[in-house]
Structure formats: C-alpha cells, structure tokens
Structure 1
Amino acid sequence: MIAKNYKHSNLRVFSLSSNQSLAAAIAEHLGVELGKLDATQFADGEIKINIEESIRGDHIYVIQSTSFPISDNIMELMIMIDALKRASAKKINVVLPYYGYARQEQQDGPRTPITAKLVANMLELAGADRIVTLDLHANQIQGFFDMPVDHLQGVPLIADYLIDRQLAGDDVVVVSPDQGGVTRARKLAEFLQAPIAIVDRRYSHASVVGDVLDKTTIIIDDIIDSGLTALTAADALVEYGAKSVYAAATHAVLSGNAAQMIEASPIECLLVTDTIHLPEAKRISKLEQVSVAPLLAEAIRRIHENQSVSPLFTERMAFDDEVE
C-alpha cells in the first residue's frame, strides 16, 4: 500500500530503546533510514540523548513503546522530545505502539492518581505535537490530550491473520473474557462473521454466556499481562465444551511466568502483535506475532501527506504482514 519513498523528504523516523526492531520495520516500509542518535546512561542511571544529525524544519516521528521498564522508557521519550524541540524540529509526532499506565485511567479508590492523564500531561509539556497509538486500554484516554491523537486498532490485523487461516464463520465463536471487552469482541466477530460469547466471572466461578459447544473459540483482549484473565476464560470454555481455544491480544506484556503458564494451558495458540518487544524467554511455541509495522507506516504516510487516517481505525487493509 505504501508506494511513496520518503528518502529525500523532510519526514524523519527515530527509534528509542524500547522496540528498535519495530521501528526499523516501520522505516523500511516508508523507504527511509532511521535517524542517527546516541542514547546513553550515566553510572547513576541518568539518560542522555544526542541527536547526531540536523533535523531543523523536519517532521519527526519518534517510535517508543512505554513498556517494561516503563518509567525508564517514558523518561527517555521525554528527554528525546526536549532534544528535538531544542534542535528546531518543525513537528514532533510521538508513535506509542503501547501506552504504558493506560490501565490507570480513573480513580479506583480514594486518594489514588489518574496516571494515564499524568503521562498525557507530561507528553504535552515536553512538546509533542501529535500522538499515534494502538488499542488504548480505555478510549477516554484520547480526551486526556489537547492535541491530535490517532487511535489505531489491532483487531483488523488480528482478523486478517485468522481469516487467512480459515478461522472464521459459524463454526467459530469470538469470546470476550469479561463484560468490559464486549465491544472489542463484537468488532472481531463482525470481521469473522461469527457469533460472540462472554465469560462471566463472579466470585470464584466463571460461566460462559453463549453457545460454545463443539466450537472453535477465540478469546480477544487488548492486553495480556499476567495471563490469568485469558487462562480463566480458557478453562471455562473447555468446561462448556469448546472444541478448541485460541487467544489473541494486541499488547503482549506477559509479566512474570505468564508465557510459561499459557504454554501449559488449553490455549492452542496465542496471537499477539509486536507493539512490545518480546525477549526470547517469552517466545513460547504457542506464540505467533503479526507485525503492526505496515499499519503504523501507513498511518505515518497519511499524516505526512495530510490524508485521512480514519479508514485505518476499523477497516481491513491490504498489508503484507509478516507472521513469526
């Protein structure tokens, strides 16, 4: 889909530390080289960034997932934005494949912070002009910003993968692992032309609302972190007679021993995107990844050419995705 080569334009792509392989793939799709910078740390952990080429008057896209180590990656991003401002960049566009602290989007008790809003404030004060991100944990986070926010969706990419493998139609049931994920499940079900079911977790028991008997079931979520939500749903689906269980999520946090727990579970395949870089220890045999690089590159192209980005939010696009 991306036809134009930006090698000699004023579009520049820089990668920080969190997901350099994804940034390199985005740059390759755009036909540009990654910008040159030196990011180092002093002995006490202070971060120092030196941009090693002129970016005066350029439109900059900084790729940084604020995943583990979250606070270090956020601070590195803030320092980079400040460096770009002082180097006279024309526009600073922050591409956040994964938005850390998004699960702290509201007060869940007295005297607790809304950290997702704090991160938004920090990005604005640092000098960002635009945010491009995927699958925010809560849609209201868009409203935390007083700048354009392009909120892309991973569901179309996941749907492409499943349709290519004939995991669609009446024999498939898309499953929301809780009531909060029903909208996401419905979106995937529309692409797959499949019904949905919901796992209703109350106290220590999980029940399934919907017919999953002898069906291929696909659990869909935005984040898989400890894995307990997906594992609880998988056990319930097996109990209710599902023929097979798949799981999919945009963001593979996979904290602790989550990957090993999934490897030992009834889940046959865990499909995730590469918004978060995964070390080898988390690349279990059941894991498959689909890249968001073509989607993010296409979003960057459209923004740079002042074209509409909205078709990318929900439509299946003709990307040449690579699945690992």
Structure 2
Amino acid sequence: MSVSHRASSPVLESRRSPLLVFAGQSNRPLAQAICDNLGIPLGKSKTEKFTNDNLIVHYEESLREGDIFIVQTFSNPVSDSIMELLLMIDAAKSASAGRVTAVIPYYSYARSDKKDSPRISIAGRLVADLLQEAGADRFLTMTLHSPQVHGFFKIPGDHLSADMVLSQHFKSIVPDAHNGVVLAPDAGSIKRASQIARRLDSGLAMIDKERLSDTEVRPRALIGDVEGRTVFIVDDEISTAGSLVETVNIARSLGAKDVYVAVTHGVYSGPAIQRIASLDVTQVASCNTVLVPEEKIAASNGKLAVLDVAPLFANAISNIHTGASVSTLFT
C-alpha cells in the first residue's frame, strides 16, 4: 500500500522558522528601515570591543531554528565590519540558527576581483571564502563592482540592482528625463548606463578612457552627444570622486546643460566631499547602502542626496524567507 506525502509549501516552512533580522554596527539605520518595511522589530544583539582591540558579539534573544538575516555593509572601518560579521555568523550557527543569510549591501572587496599585478591576493574571493567558512548559508548584496564576484561564492546568493531606484529618482527630479542623455564614465559601466537609459527612454553616451599605467587612466574621447542636453551620470560607487570630476568636466566642456549624478554606493572617502562641493553639478545622489554622515551631507554645498533601498532589501528578504522568486522584483 503506497502512502502519498504532501510537500510543505514555502509559506508553511517559513512559519516553522521565524524571520529574524539583526544588524552589525556599520549601518544600523538601514537595518532598522528594512525591519520597518518588513513590519518586524530589529533583533537584539550587542558588539563590544575589548581593550586589546578584540571584538565580542552577543545575541540577546533566542535564534533556535530561526531564519536569520544579518545586515552588515563593508564600510569604514572595513576590517572591523568584516570581522564583526564573521563573528555574528559563527555565533548564530552556534546558537542553532536554522539558516543564516549575510546581507551585505556594499561588498567593498568586489573591486579586488582579479590578479592584475604580481604577488597580490584576490581579496574578493578570499572574503567570500571566509564568510562561507564562518557558516553563512546564503548571501544578499547589491551592485557588485564586478558581477563575476558572484561566482566567488559557493553558496546561494542574490545580487540586487539599484537601477530601478536610480532611474525613478531621475524621473522624479527631471520631468523631461527622456530628452536627456545617460553618460557612462567608462566602458565598464556602459551596461548599467544602457539599462537606465532604457528605463528613462533617453539617449546614451560613453567616455572612452586610455590606461597609461596600473594606477593612471586618461579620458580620450566621448562617444555620443551631450551638447545642450541634461546629462545623467551613473556608476556603481563614488570613492574619492576623482573619476567623477573628470567625467563632469568633460560633459560640461562639450556643452552639457545640467548634470545629475546617481550611484549605488556613496563611500565619499578622502577629498570626495570637497570635490563634490566645488563641482559644476546639480546633484550627486547615492543609495543608503553605505551610511553617509550628516556632516558630510552638510559640507557638500547642498549637492548630496541619499536614496532609500530599504524597501527593495525588505522585499528580497521576504521572498527569500518564503521561497518566492527574487528576480520578480525587477520585472
């Protein structure tokens, strides 16, 4: 006599595994906003640093059989952020968590994706190995500098895109955005620029750059036409804003009317804020994947804006938790 077994639905499975979201110290406001969108409280945990500079992480509630999401962006101090995340993953697994997902809005080591000089580490792969060794079952991130970094992980992962957020922002501040031109700062960002141009139904242009050495790149030509038109510059991140200054200056020299900038990650290190404050640009927007302090916003001469991606992360976490598709969020 055969007995049929009814498969459990993802929703029923999720009821057996409570959804719990915790945050490291790097970007608690984003984690709190994600929880607000999910309609759940932010999990209680505590991180302390001993006098010898060692970290200790302590969860202040039960994690047993829970579906745990730990939000930690790799921002300054990056090494502390990574170490804290590793400790949080390990502590969660030791506390009998059912599944642990590392939510890394900004994976800074994605820039180290290849061996482009002798005797160096491919750090993007090394950090992925460390996260897996600590016990992460999944990862969730946004706009990797190099998409191939996704392949460094041997665990399931989801790579979110901020293109929808950036394009909607451009539409909200420039009513006739379709008459503008999306400008890619280099060949590496042309795919992202093309996708946003399609969303805006606008023109597309690209700056061709010539590499002079391992550390020096020189703009050579602009492919496309920006004269008399509103220009939207898009990229994955702004660090020191050196490349941004070059791109804006080229667009202005070729007759661009107004220049707007939007990137996923606003790192704004070193002289970035001073450069942006004096730059001939209307606005520079970045997503809240990296926490931008109020003093930096105040020092930008009114040019910095921060876009909220918490709803997108909340929807992705909800879909992962229930077993629904994450790709549907972009279609």
Residue 312 of structure 2 corresponds to 295
Q: Which residue of 1 aligns with 2:266?
A: 252
Structure 1 spans left out of the alignment, 5+ residues = 1-5, 316-324
More helix by share: 2
Measure the CA separation in 2 of the matches of 1:68 and 1:205.
30
1:226–1:256 contact (8 Å) kept in structure 2: yes
* CA contact 1:185–1:196 (8 Å) conserved in 2: yes
Query: What is the match of residue 224 of structure 1?
Result: 238
Q: Which amino acid aligns with 2:166?
A: I
CA apart distance, 1:161: 1.1
What SS class does the counterpart of residue 248 from structure 2 fall into?
helix
CA distance in 2, matches of 1:248, 1:206: 23
Pairwise mapping of residues 168-317 of structure 1 onto structure 2 (< 5 A)?
A: 168-202=176-210, 204-283=218-297, 284=300, 285-312=302-329, 314-315=330-331
Q: Which residue of 2 aligns with 1:108?
A: 116
Residues 59-98 of structure 1 mapped to structure 2, 5 A cutoff: 59-98=67-106
Q: Which moved more, 1:72-81 or 1:194-203?
A: 194-203
* CA–CA distance in structure 1, aligned partners of residues 305 and 107 of structure 2: 22
Q: 1:200 to 1:9 in 2, by over 3 A?
A: same
Match status 1:38 vs 2:52: no
Q: CA deviation at 1:169?
A: 4.5
Aligned pair count reads 309
Q: CA deviation at 1:280?
A: 2.1
Amino acid at match of 1:248: A
RMSD, aligned α-carbons: 1.6
1:133 aligns with 2:141: yes
Cα 1:167–1:143 change in 2 (3 A) is farther
Cα pair 1:206 1:236 within 8 Å, conserved: no
User: Which residue identity lines up with residue 30 of structure 2 in the other structure?
Assistant: L
Partner residue of 1:19 out of 9, 27, 30: 27
- State the TM-score, normalizing by the size of structure 2: 0.90
Mapped contact 2:207–2:222 kept (Cα < 8 A): yes
Partner Cα separation in structure 2 for residue 131 and residue 46 of structure 1: 25
What amino acid does structure 2 have at the position aligned with 1:211? Answer: D
**TM-score, scaled relative to structure 1:** 0.92
**Contact 2:179 2:203 (8 Å CA) reproduced:** no
Amino acid at match of 2:83: M
Instruction: Verify: 1:153 aligned to 2:161, yes or no.
Output: yes
Q: Tell me the CA shift for residue 166 of structure 1.
A: 3.3
Gaps of 5+ in 2: 1-13, 213-217
Distance 1:166 1:269 in 2: 11
| Deviation for aligned residue 1:50 | 0.9
Partner residue, 1:142: 150
Alignment of 1:166 with 2:174, yes or no, is: yes
Task: Please state how far the C-alpha of 1:207 moved relative to its aligned partner.
Answer: 2.8
**Is the contact made by 2:207 and 2:219 (CA closer than 8 Å) also made in structure 1?**
no
Report deviation, 1:208. Answer: 1.6
Deviation at 1:213, TM superposition (A): 0.5
Q: Any conservation in 1 of the 2:17–2:98 contact (CA below 8 Å)?
A: no
Identity %: 39
